[in-house]
């Protein structure tokens, strides 16, 4: 229960889904969690749950599309805990439509949330990590859409691919300075991005999995959180620049 003991972990996108599961698992494993999300109600509920189970954390309402909010997230983290050891960028948005129906507004929303915000958080926190003698790491959540073509997710896949490559490129600069950077590319995970008709129907899920998951079920946020906990713990002290596809075999389905 102490795999993340001593870690100060900033996690974005904590109101639901993968970010929520990661924040909860980190806290259960001993981390002090700084939870960030645009959804203040959902984010605070996540932190309240962490505290109710004996964990430690704070919630910082953050619109990652505003640089001043990212700077505030950094300042609150430093004011509260004095440093940061772990950054997980999990916040994301999905626009699902034929390419010719993607709008300028879609581009801005996806690019700003799924790529630029990751750049801003890393620019804010990496200097603090470099100055910290502890084991530090960054984990960015990409997607199998960055490695496997997916119809109607064009902007989403493109910017997730950018996150994937940028993260691995950054290892060349920052890993020699003591910061590990890794990527997880989840497959079809049962989150708020999953269409409601799929979430509500085991029959539809089973039929869908015949085509997309060789394991035979959709992933759950906890499936990703287990890997995130490993990658951000000292157990992974020799892991950097890694690209983990966790998809229930989806990439093997053609």
Q: What is the CATH number of the domain that holds 99?
A: 3.40.50.720
Residue 206 covered by a domain: no
- Residue 193: its pLDDT value, please? 64
- Residue 244: its pLDDT value, please? 94
Residue 118 covered by a domain: yes
- Residue 210: its pLDDT value, please? 66
- Residue 28: its pLDDT value, please? 98
Residue 57 covered by a domain: yes
Residue 192 CB coordination number (10 Å): 13
Residue 168 covered by a domain: yes
156 flagged as catalytic: yes
Q: How many domains does the chain have?
A: 1
Residue 43 CB coordination number (10 Å): 25
Shortest CA distance to 11 belongs to which of 65, 67, 77, 78? 77
- Among residues 118, 154, 155, 156, which one is catalytic? 156
- Residue 113: its pLDDT value, please? 96
Residue 108 covered by a domain: yes
Mean pLDDT per block of 10 residues along the chain (254 residues) reads 94 97 98 98 98 98 98 98 98 91 95 97 98 92 87 90 96 96 91 65 67 75 97 97 85 65
- Domain containing 236 equals 8-189+220-253
Instruction: With beta carbons less than 8 A apart as the criterion, state whether 239 and 10 touch.
Output: no
Residue 167 covered by a domain: yes
Residue 195 covered by a domain: no
- Residue 200: its pLDDT value, please? 65
Residue 65 covered by a domain: yes
């Amino acid at each position: 229960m102490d795999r993340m003991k001593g870690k100060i972990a900033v996690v974005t996108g904590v109101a639901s889904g993968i970010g929520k599961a990661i924040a909860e698992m980190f806290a259960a494993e001993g981390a002090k969690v700084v939870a960030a999300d645009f959804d203040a109600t959902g984010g605070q509920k996540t932190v309240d749950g962490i505290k109710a189970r004996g964990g430690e954390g704070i919630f910082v309402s953050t619109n990652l599309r505003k640089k001043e909010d990212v700077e505030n997230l950094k300042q609150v983290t430093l004011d509260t805990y004095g440093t940061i050891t772990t950054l997980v960028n999990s916040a994301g948005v999905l626009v699902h439509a034929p390419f010719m129906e993607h709008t300028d507004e879609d581009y801005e929303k996806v690019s700003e949330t799924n790529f630029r915000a990751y750049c801003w958080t890393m620019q804010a926190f990496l200097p603090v990590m470099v100055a910290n003698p502890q084991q530090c790491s960054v984990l960015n959540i990409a997607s199998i859409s960055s490695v496997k073509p997916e119809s109607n997710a064009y902007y989403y896949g493109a910017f997730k691919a950018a996150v994937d490559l940028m993260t691995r490129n950054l290892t060349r600069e920052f890993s020699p300075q003591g910061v590990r950077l890794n990527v997880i590319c989840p497959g079809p995970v049962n989150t708020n991005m999953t269409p409601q008709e799929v979430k509500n129907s085991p029959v539809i899920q089973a039929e869908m999995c015949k085509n997309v998951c060789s394991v035979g079920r959709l992933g759950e946020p906890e499936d990703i959180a287990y890997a995130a906990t490993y990658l951000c713990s000292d157990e992974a002290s020799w892991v950097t620049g890694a690209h983990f596809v966790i998809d229930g075999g989806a990439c093997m389905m053609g």
